[in-house]
Amino acid sequence: MSKRNPDYENSFWQKFAMWCSGDYDPAKGKFEMKKPGQKSKGPNIIGKLMHILAQEESIYASERDKNLRTFNRFYIIVSVALGFLLTILLLVTVSQLPRFGDANAPENNEVARRYIEKGLEETGAVNIVAGMILDYRAFDTFGESCVLFVASCCVLMLLKEKKPEPEKRYDPVNSAILQPAARILVPIIIIFGIYVILNGHISPGGGFSGGAIIGTGFILYQTAFGFEKTGKFLSEKFIKVITVLALSFYCFAKSYSFYTGANHLHSVITPGTPGAILSAGLIVYLNICVGIVVACTMYSFYAAFRRGSF
Amino acid sequence: MTLVQNFPFFCIILSMFSAIISFVLSGRQAKIVHLAMTGLVFVMSLFVLQYTYMTGSSYTYMMGHYPAPWGNEIRIGALESLMAAAFSLIMLLSVIGGIYHIDKDIDKERQGLFFIQLDLLLASLLALIYTNDLFTAYVFIEICTIAACGLIMARKIGRVYVSAVRYMVMSLIGSGLFLIGLSLLYAITGQLLMSPARIALQKIADTGQYEVPMAVIMVLLTVGLGIKSGLYPFHTWIPDAYGYSTTSASAILSSLVSKGYIFLLIKLIVRVLPYKSIPGAQMENILFLFGVVGMIIGSVDAIKDKNIRRMISYSSVAQIGYIYMGIGLGNNAGADAALFHVISHGLMKSLLFLAATGLIDCSGGRLDRKGLTGAGYRNKVAGVGFTIGSLSMIGMPLLAGFVSKFMFASAATSAPIYKMIIAWTALAISTVLNAVYFMRMVLVIYTPVGAVKASRLKRGAQTDIEIKPESGEKAAMLQKGPLENIGIIGISALIIMLGTYSQVIIDIIRNGFALFD
C-alpha cells in the first residue's frame, strides 16, 4: 500500500499538475499589473530631458545650417591666409625698426635717461625696474594687479561650484615619491619666493615673480597633501581676506602718494638708504602686496580648475 | 589745485576700491556698494564738468610725484568729464532697470562677483576716458575686456558660454593688435605719453622715415579698437553677446563698453595718430566706408532677425556704423556728431534693452514677434519706453536720435562732395530700414489681443531659455518691478531732455573737443 500524503491538495506535485493543466497560477496575487501611462508620480525626467534637448536644438540649430557650414569652411581658408599675411607684414615692419641695442634708437631718450640716472636717487630702489613700475608708473601697476584680481573673479564666476568636488577621485595624495619631495621642496620654494619679494627693490625680482614662486609652492603642497591639509592655512575666507587687505593697502598707500604728488603736498614717504631691506619708500610694501595677490591668484586659479572652489 | 580738480582721480580710485572691498561682501552688500559708488561718481563728475566748463580749459593731473613723461598722468577737460558723467549715469540707470533680473538670472554666490566686475568696468571706462598715456590705456583695456566677458557669462545658460568665448577671442585679437601697434609705436618714437608721441610721429612723418611701420601702427591701433567696439566687418560677436546675457549686462555692454573704445580711438586720432599728415594713408576713408556699410548691413540683419533682443543687438552694429561714419568724415563737426551719438545711442540702447526685457517678461519669456503681440498693453511702462526708444532710434524730432542724425547730416555738408552724397544716402536708407524694424515691433506690441489670448500669452509657452524664478516671491517682484520701471522712466526722460535741450550738450562737446588736442 502506498503512502498517501494527507495534505495532497497543497503539495508541490499537485500544484505542478494543476499548473500544467492551467488551473493554477502561482503568480496570482503576488504581482500587481498596472495599465501604463495612467499616472506617474515623481519627476518626469525623460520629458524634462526631451524639453531641454528641444531647447538646445532650437538654440544651436543655426550652427548646423548647411550654408553656414560651407561658409565656415571658406572662413577657415580666409583666416589662415589672413594670418600668414599679417605675419609677413609684421616681419617686414619689424625689419624696418631701429636695431635692437642701437644707441641712437628713439627709445633712448630723456625718459629712459632719467630713469637710469636719477632712479636710485629719487626712488631709493637699486633695482631700477622696481622703481619704474612701483614708483614712477605705479598707477599702471595698480591697474595690472586689478587685471589679476578681475581675472580671478572671472574664473571663479565660471567655475565656482556650490559643493566643491570630493578630492579623493583624482588626487595623488599619499604618494611615496611626491610627499617626501614636497616636504623638502615646499619650504625652500616659499622661502625663496619671500626672498625674491623682499629683495625686489634691491635685486632682480619683485612682487610678480616672487608671488608666482610662492604660488607654485602652494600648488605643490596641495598636490602632495590634498585639499584638507592645505585648507588649514589656505581657506577660501583667508584667501579672500588677505587679497582684499593687500589690494586695499596698495589702493590707500598709492592714493596717498598720488594725492600728495598731484597737489604738491609734502609726503612722509622717503627713499631711505639705498640697498637696505627697509628702504625705497613704499616699494617694499607694495611688492609684498603684489606678491600676496599674485600668489593667492595662482593658487585660487589652480583650485578653481581642480575642484571648483578654493 | 582745488579740491574739484582731484575728483576724477577720486572717481577712478573709488570705483576700484569698491570692487576690491566687494570681494568679501555678500551679493546684496556688493549691490548697495555698487549703486552708491556709481551715484557718487556721477555727482563728482558733474562737479568736474561744471568746473571745466566754467574755466573753459583742460588740466593735467599728476598721478604721483613725477611729472608726465616719467610718471602717469590723466588729463581732464569738459568733454572727458561730460563722458564720465554720462557713462556713470547710464550705468546707474541700467543696473537699476535690471536689478530684479540680476537677482533672477545670477546665482546668489555669483552676484558679488558680478558687481565686482561692474565696478571694475566703470573704473576702466573712467580711466580710458581720462588717460593721457597709451600704456595706461592698454592696461585698462585689458580690465574692460575681462570684466565685460565676466558680465556676459554671469547668466548660466548654454548659449552664453558660446558667446562669451566668441567675445573673448574677438576682443583679445583686438587687444593683441592694439598692443603690437603700441610696441611698434614705442620703438619708433620712444614715447608713451600722447602729446610727445604725436610730436615724434609728426617729425617722423615729415622726414619720411619708417613709412611702413607708420602705416602699420595706424592700421593696428585703429583696427584693434575697431574690433573691440564692433565695427562692421568685425561685428559677429555682437548679437550673441548682447542677446543672451542678463538685461543690465546687455544694456551696459552695448551702450558703454564699445563706446569707451570709440572714445579712446577718437582721442588717439586727435592726440596721437597724424591721420592727415600722411597722404598715402586712407584711414579716415576706410573708417567712413566701413561705417557706411555697417549702417546698412546692421539694419538689414536686424530686419531679418525674429528675436527681439538680437534685433536690438544688430541695431547696435548699425549705430556704431553711424559713429564711425562721423569719425570718417574727417572734420570737427563729424567728430562732434560722433561724440554726441556716443551719448545718445548709449541712452537709447540701454532703454531698448531694459524695455524689451519688460515686454518679454509679460509675454511668458517669448522673444519672437508672435509672442510679444499686445505686450505694450500688458506692461505699460515698458511699452512706452520701447516706443520712445524706437522713435528716437528712427530720428523723431524732440528726441535724442533726431539731434544726432541732424548733426551727422549737417557735418556731411562740410566734407568733400562725394562723402556728403554717400553719407546722406546712407543716412536716408538707414533711417528707412530702422523704421521698418522698429516700427514693426512697436506695431506688434500695440496690436490689441482679446483678454483670453492675452492671459495665455502672458503665461506663454516657455520657448525661451529663461530659467524659472526660484520662488513665488521673486516672481511677484518681477511682475511689479517698480525699481526697474524707475530705470526705464529715467532713461526715457533723459532721451527727451537730450532731444529738447541738446544745445547745452552740443556746446560742451564742441568746446571740449576744441580743447582736446
Per the prediction, chain A carries an average pLDDT of 79
Please tell me if residue A257 touches chain B, with a CB cutoff of 8 Å. yes
* Chain B residue with minimum CA distance to A159: B110
**Residue pointed to by grid coordinates 625696474:** A129
For residue A111, being part of any structural domain is answered with no
- In angstroms, the CA A8 to CA A14 distance is 7
- Are B325 and B412 in contact by the 8 Å Cβ rule? The answer is no
pLDDT at site A57: 62
- Looking at the fold, whether A81 and A183 belong to one and the same domain comes out as no
Chain A interface disruption, residue of B25, B70, B220, most A CBs within 10 A: B70
Which among A61, A86, A111 is the end of a domain? Answer: A86
pLDDT at site B476: 45
Chain B interface disruption, residue of A157, A160, A310, most B CBs within 10 A: A157
Interchain pair A262, B19: CB under 8 A: no
- Looking at the fold, whether A167 and A294 belong to one and the same domain comes out as yes
Residue A39 has pLDDT above 60, yes or no: no
Provide the shortest C-alpha distance from residue B244 to chain A (in Å): 11
* Chain B residue with minimum CA distance to A154: B150
Q: Over the stretch B174-187, which tens digit does the pLDDT of each residue have? A: 999 999 999 988 88
Domain extent, residue A188, equals 126-307
Provide the shortest C-alpha distance from residue B117 to chain A (in Å): 7
Residues whose CB falls within 8 Å of the CB of residue B479, separated by 6 or more in sequence, listed in order: B361
For residue A119, being part of any structural domain is answered with no
Q: Over the stretch B392-407, which tens digit does the pLDDT of each residue have? A: 999 888 888 899 999 9
Cβ pairs bridging A and B (under 8 Å)? 167
- Looking at the fold, whether A235 and A172 belong to one and the same domain comes out as yes
Output phi, psi for B421, to 5 deg.
Answer: -65, -45
- Looking at the fold, whether A69 and A140 belong to one and the same domain comes out as no
Interchain pair A122, B66: CB under 8 A: yes
Interchain pair A150, B127: CB under 8 A: no
Chain B positions touching A257 (Cβ under 8 A) are: 64-65
Q: What is the pLDDT tens value at each position of chain B, 517 positions in all? A: 788 888 899 999 999 999 999 988 888 888 899 999 999 999 999 999 999 888 888 888 888 778 878 888 888 888 999 999 999 999 999 998 888 888 888 888 888 889 999 999 999 999 999 998 899 999 999 999 999 998 888 887 777 888 888 889 999 999 999 999 999 888 888 888 888 888 888 888 888 777 788 888 888 888 899 999 888 888 888 888 888 888 888 999 988 998 999 999 998 888 888 776 665 567 888 889 999 999 999 999 888 888 888 889 999 999 999 999 998 888 888 889 999 999 999 999 999 999 988 888 887 777 777 778 888 888 888 889 999 999 999 988 888 889 999 999 999 888 888 888 998 999 999 999 999 889 988 988 888 877 666 666 666 544 444 444 444 444 444 555 677 888 888 999 999 998 888 888 898 888 888 887 7
- In angstroms, the CA A115 to CA A130 distance is 11
Interchain pair A55, B143: CB under 8 A: no
Nearest-5° angle of CA B270, CA B177, CA A298? Answer: 120
- Looking at the fold, whether A141 and A64 belong to one and the same domain comes out as no
CB-nearest partner of A153 from B65, B116, B210 = B116
Please tell me if residue B406 touches chain A, with a CB cutoff of 8 Å. no
- Looking at the fold, whether A57 and A191 belong to one and the same domain comes out as no
* Chain A residue with minimum CA distance to B188: A106
For residue A197, being part of any structural domain is answered with yes
Number of domains forming the structure of chain B? 1
- Looking at the fold, whether A260 and A207 belong to one and the same domain comes out as yes
Please tell me if residue B182 touches chain A, with a CB cutoff of 8 Å. no
- Looking at the fold, whether A266 and A170 belong to one and the same domain comes out as yes
Please tell me if residue A91 touches chain B, with a CB cutoff of 8 Å. no
pLDDT at site B24: 87
- Looking at the fold, whether A70 and A189 belong to one and the same domain comes out as no
- In angstroms, the CA B357 to CA B96 distance is 13
CB-nearest partner of B136 from A122, A139, A264 = A139
For residue A1, being part of any structural domain is answered with no
Provide the shortest C-alpha distance from residue A228 to chain B (in Å): 22
**Residue pointed to by grid coordinates 498517501:** A4
CB-nearest partner of A93 from B62, B127, B212 = B212
Please tell me if residue A177 touches chain B, with a CB cutoff of 8 Å. no
- Looking at the fold, whether A81 and A134 belong to one and the same domain comes out as no
- Looking at the fold, whether A142 and A59 belong to one and the same domain comes out as no
* Chain A residue with minimum CA distance to B212: A93
Provide the shortest C-alpha distance from residue A256 to chain B (in Å): 9
Interchain pair B212, A264: CB under 8 A: no
Please tell me if residue A154 touches chain B, with a CB cutoff of 8 Å. yes
Interchain pair B147, A150: CB under 8 A: yes
What amino acid occupies position A158? L
* DSSP-assigned states of every residue in B119-164: HHHHHHHHHHHHB-BHHHHHHHHHHHHHHHHHHHTTS--HHHHHHH
Please tell me if residue B467 touches chain A, with a CB cutoff of 8 Å. no
pLDDT at site A34: 55
For residue B177, being part of any structural domain is answered with no
Please tell me if residue A78 touches chain B, with a CB cutoff of 8 Å. no
Question: In B, residues 88-107, which contact A (CB 8 Å cutoff)?
Answer: none
pLDDT at site B263: 92
Please tell me if residue A156 touches chain B, with a CB cutoff of 8 Å. yes
CB-nearest partner of B159 from A59, A97, A247 = A59
Spacing of C-alpha B258 from chain mean position: 5
Question: A246 or A262: whose pLDDT is higher?
Answer: A246
Read off the pLDDT of each residue in A23-51 and give the average, rounded to a whole number: 62
pLDDT at site B469: 41
Number of domains forming the structure of chain A? 2
Interchain pair A139, B142: CB under 8 A: no
Nearest C-alpha neighbor of A141 from the set A283, A302, A306, A303: A283
Residues whose CB falls within 8 Å of the CB of residue B191, separated by 6 or more in sequence, listed in order: A109, A111, B69, B197, B200
* DSSP-assigned states of every residue in A48-85: HHHHHHHHHHHHHGGGG-HHHHHHHHHHHHHHHHHHHH
- Looking at the fold, whether A258 and A170 belong to one and the same domain comes out as yes
Interchain pair A157, B149: CB under 8 A: no
Residues whose CB falls within 8 Å of the CB of residue B400, separated by 6 or more in sequence, listed in order: B343, B344, B347, B348, B392, B495, B496, B498, B499, B502
CB atoms within 10 A of CB A112: 15
For residue B234, being part of any structural domain is answered with no
- Are B437 and B299 in contact by the 8 Å Cβ rule? The answer is yes
For residue B241, being part of any structural domain is answered with no
CA distances for B342 relative to B126, B141, B169, B256, B321, angstroms: 15, 18, 25, 9, 11
Domain extent, residue B484, equals 276-517
- In angstroms, the CA B255 to CA B320 distance is 10
Output phi, psi for B131, to 5 deg.
Answer: -65, 150
For residue B433, being part of any structural domain is answered with yes
Chain A positions touching B115 (Cβ under 8 A) are: none
Read off the pLDDT of each residue in A130-151 and give the average, rounded to a whole number: 86
CB atoms within 10 A of CB A144: 17
Please tell me if residue B20 touches chain A, with a CB cutoff of 8 Å. yes
